[in-house]
Amino acid sequence: MSDPLLLAIVGPTGSGKTALSLALAEELNGEIVSCDSVSIYRGMEIGSAKPTAAERARIPHHMLDVADPSEAYTAGDYSRAGREVLADLHSRGKTPIVAGGTGLYLRALLDGLSPVPPRDEELRKRLRHSVQRHGDAHLHSLLSRIDPKAAARIHANDQSKLLRAVEISLLERRPLSAQFHAAPPEPLKEFRIVKIGLTPPRAILYQRLDTRAAEMFTNGLVEETRSLIARYGKDCRALTSLGYTQAVAEINGTLTHEQAVASAQQGHRNYAKRQLTWFRAEPDIHWIEDFGAPSLKRAAEIIQSL
């Protein structure tokens, strides 16, 4: 008996992943596992282009709204939680359809990452307090003493990576570079994985992205951003995401409304290019160039042929 199917629908933002994943979920007795680094956050609806309430009612979705925007959520966090979802779907005889454009999350979910311990918030609080007392250079200096190899790889100003490296070294009582980067990742083994990539004609994709970005502002992106700032603070890390960055700039008066929309449109086009570059380098992706019904027909043919 062959392993159960896991279908991954990948590609740039605006390429039709949501529509295709919904249609395939209905055909394959499936449920959808979001693979998007912004949709994991609660309250970030408009700028993340999350599936609508009607779409979520049509097919169960997972890995949406699993963290507050004030939380740091890593690829490792996503992999651990996502694999629990996959195990549940497997136990219920459902076909997992992983849909999204965050390539690192997909790689972590399917291929695994070198094992590292989860975050320790109490330790992090103490380390942040030390930075406040001793200055921004403290973490890099500390890491240089306990793990010179890691310190040489991480820029002295990258506080987030420095904090994580120091945290891991202290929790495990050995340098991060001594074991974890050498430890092999653990690929997902329970499924027959089929990856389908969407790459519609670029001119059509860019037109869709320009329309989508403008509609986000029309549909209340600035108001949503104000609400997030009021709840989580202006320095909330999730607000550096595409779209929210431009909304913050409009709120602060550094961009006019028209400039913010144009910047978001350009940002979405640039992001789509980066996503395509990432996924083009990934192995075993079957590419489809059409939108809508033709992509569904072609996806079904691909699945049946493998």
Query: Of 177, 269, 254, which Cα lies nearest the Cα of 214?
Result: 269
Distance between CA 247 and CA 240 in Å, rounded? 10
| Whole-number Å distance between alpha carbons of 197 and 179 | 34
The DSSP code sequence of 120-167 is -HHHHHHHHHHHHHH-TTHHHHHHHHH-HHHHHHS-TT-HHHHHHHHH
Cα(27)–Cα(6) distance, rounded to whole angstroms?
Answer: 14
Which sign does the torsion angle of CA 65, 66, 69, 75 carry? negative
Place of tokens 């590609």: 11
Residue 11, marked binder: yes
Closest CA to 222 of 191, 256, 190, 199: 256
- Residue 33, CA distances (Å) to 83, 87, 143, 199 in order: 10, 12, 37, 20
CA distance 156 to 140: 6
- The answer to whether 103 is a known ligand-binding residue is no
Residue 197 in marked binding region: no
Residue 16 marked as a ligand binder: yes
Q: Is 15 annotated as a binding residue?
A: yes
Q: What is the largest CA-CA distance in the chain?
A: 62
Is 14 annotated for ligand binding? yes
Q: Which residues are annotated as a binding site?
A: 11-18
Q: Which residues are annotated as a binding site for substrate?
A: 13-18
Q: Which residues are annotated as a binding site for ATP?
A: 11-18
